[in-house]
Structure formats: C-alpha cells, structure tokens
C-alpha cells in the first residue's frame, strides 16, 4: 500500500471516529435535554409541583375549633395526621386548616406541603432547587409534624366554646383548594362534632332534620357545591358530652352521608366516631 493510500485510510478512520463522537455527544445532549425537560418544577417552600399539568392528588384536613379539644382528641388528631402524612404518594399535597366561627381563610390555613419522595427521588426528578435534598426530606419527615403538633398544642389552651359552629361553611372553605384542580386521589378529612349550629340551621335548637327536607331549603343552595365525584370525604366525629344521644342517632350519620354523597357528589364517604 502506498503512502497516499495509507493516508486516505487513516483519514477515513479519523472521520469515522469523529462522526461517532459527534453522534454520541448529540445523543447524550438529547438525553440530558429530555431528562431536564421531564423534571418536576416545585415551589421551594411547599415542594409542590408548580405547573398545572403536573397536578397530583390533594388531601385537605379541617380541624373544627368551635369547641375545645381534650388531650385524647388532640392525640387522636395528631396520630391520624402522622399516618396520613406517611401514606400519601409522592408529589401529593397535604393541607391543614384549623377553623373557627370567623371562617377566616388566611388565618385558618396553617400549612401546605407535598411529599417529596425519597432523597433519590428528589435528586432525580426535581428541577434545580437551591436546597439540599436531605434537608427537603427532613422538612417533610420532621418539620411538617412539628408544625402541626405546635398548632394543636396551642389550641389546647382555648377552653371556651364559641357561639356558633358553621360546619357546612367550613366544608366550603376546603372546596377552595380544588377549584380548577383536575388531579385524582383527592380527599377532605374533617375532625369535628358535626353539630351544625348557625342562625339558619341549628341542630342544638331544632334537632335533626331529614336531608330530603333540608335539600328543599334556601339554606342548602348556599352551602351546596359539586365535588364531581372526584373528592372523597372522611369524617372523624368528636363525641360531645350532652350531645351524644343525638350523635348516636342513626339519622345523624345518615344526614351527613346524604349531604356529602347525594347533595355534594362526593366520590366516597366514611365516618368514624372519636371518644374523649
């Protein structure tokens, strides 16, 4: 083989190697571009996805403060919230409200945070965020629970019952979390004695009424909403001294089941009574 032929052969190999390198670099760049594009952009405070298309499930817990909680009831609530926090899937949000008769939305919304997943999840799926993945995980595991514990411990000092108990209106507060939201696996949890007590409807003064009769009233149209079979309801009913007979009445549980399922089109309904 002549020198010229060897040179041509060497040039061809060089071009082939250069071409292969370009192809590999291009593939790597494309992979990184696609991978970065698939990463979830999150709020640096709540760790919840920012984009509307990245809508995961929501859980909203309402704690009724119109009557005081005793120690056993406080501990029950904290236990339920911890179990709930440990069970919700990655990127799903958990929001806690403590509601009183004022129904002040800004004051009542105590905390919202999304489950960030494992440290490996955070490193591989989160878009650039200036917080150490281990710190993010720690805020979810320890910080969230501490904030809720502090809130509940503080309300233990509130010993006086309030003049009204607008349970249905509290429910409407929670619905604001789902306006324009299309994610699945949504749930509203309410810890309350569920004894509606307002000027328009008082179970204390007027006793129980059937839902079929209540549905005909003007008041129902004010507290009605449509959950579109996309939000499940879970009630933890606090037994109150002086009201246990009414709460044990089968019509009491039936009223709330009808209110949420037939009246407001809940996806599912569960009820548990809480002693204390």
Q: What is the DSSP string of 27-91?
A: HHHHHHHHHHHHSBPB-TTT--B-STTS---EEEEEEE-SS---HHHHHHHHHHHHHHHHHSPTT
Note whether 79 and 30 are same-domain residues: no
As given in the structure block, the two tokens for residue 94 are: 């958990």
Note whether 134 and 26 are same-domain residues: no
Degrees (nearest 5) of the Cα angle 156, 161, 165?
A: 110
Q: From first to last of the 276 residues of the chain, give the pLDDT tens digit.
A: 554 554 455 555 665 666 665 565 544 443 333 344 457 788 888 888 887 666 689 999 988 877 777 788 888 888 888 888 888 888 899 998 887 766 776 677 788 899 988 888 888 877 767 788 889 889 888 888 788 777 777 665 555 555 678 889 888 888 888 877 777 889 999 999 999 988 889 998 888 889 999 999 999 999 988 888 889 999 999 988 888 899 999 999 999 999 999 999 999 999 999 886
Residue at 153 is within a domain: yes
Note whether 173 and 270 are same-domain residues: yes
DSSP β-ladder status, 186-192 and 109-114? unpaired
- From edge to edge, which strands make up the β-sheet containing 58-64? 109-114, 93-99, 58-64, 186-192, 231-238, 268-274
Question: The whole model's pTM is what?
Answer: 0.79
Q: Is 125 exposed, middle or buried (0-12, 13-18, 19+ CB in 10 A)?
A: middle
What single-letter DSSP state applies at residue 126?
B
Which CATH number fits the domain that encloses residue 67? 3.40.50
Structural domain span for residue 32: 1-38
What is the number of structural domains in the chain?
2
Note whether 214 and 246 are same-domain residues: yes
- Report helix, strand or coil for 119: helix
Residue at 48 is within a domain: no
Among residues 178, 184, 170, 181, the alpha carbon closest in space to that of 259 is found at 170
């Amino acid at each position: 083989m002549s020198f010229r032929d060897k040179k041509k052969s060497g040039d061809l190999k060089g071009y082939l190697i250069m071409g292969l390198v370009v192809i590999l670099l291009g593939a790597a760049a494309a992979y990184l571009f696609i991978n970065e594009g698939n990463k979830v952009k999150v709020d640096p405070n709540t760790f919840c996805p920012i984009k509307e298309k990245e809508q995961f499930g929501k859980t909203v817990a309402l704690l009724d403060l119109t009557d005081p909680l005793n120690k056993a009831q406080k501990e029950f609530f904290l236990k339920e919230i911890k179990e709930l926090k440990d069970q919700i899937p990655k990127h799903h949000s958990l929001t806690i409200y403590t509601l009183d008769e004022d129904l002040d939305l800004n004051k009542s919304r105590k905390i919202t945070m999304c489950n960030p997943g494992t440290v490996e999840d955070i490193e591989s799926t989160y878009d650039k965020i200036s917080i150490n993945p281990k710190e993010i995980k720690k805020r979810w595991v320890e910080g969230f629970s501490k904030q809720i514990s502090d809130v509940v411990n503080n309300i233990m000092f509130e010993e006086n019952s309030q003049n009204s108990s607008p349970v249905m209106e509290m429910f409407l507060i929670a619905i604001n979390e789902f306006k324009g939201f299309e994610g699945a696996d949504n749930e509203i949890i309410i810890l309350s004695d569920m004894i509606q007590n307002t000027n328009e409807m008082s179970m204390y003064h007027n006793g129980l009424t059937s839902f079929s009769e209540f549905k005909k009233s003007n008041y129902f149209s004010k507290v009605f909403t449509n959950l579109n079979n996309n939000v499940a309801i879970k009630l933890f009913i606090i037994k109150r001294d002086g009201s246990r007979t009414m709460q044990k009445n089968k019509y009491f549980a039936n009223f709330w089941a009808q209110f949420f399922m037939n009246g407001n089109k809940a996806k599912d309904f569960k009820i548990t009574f809480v002693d204390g």
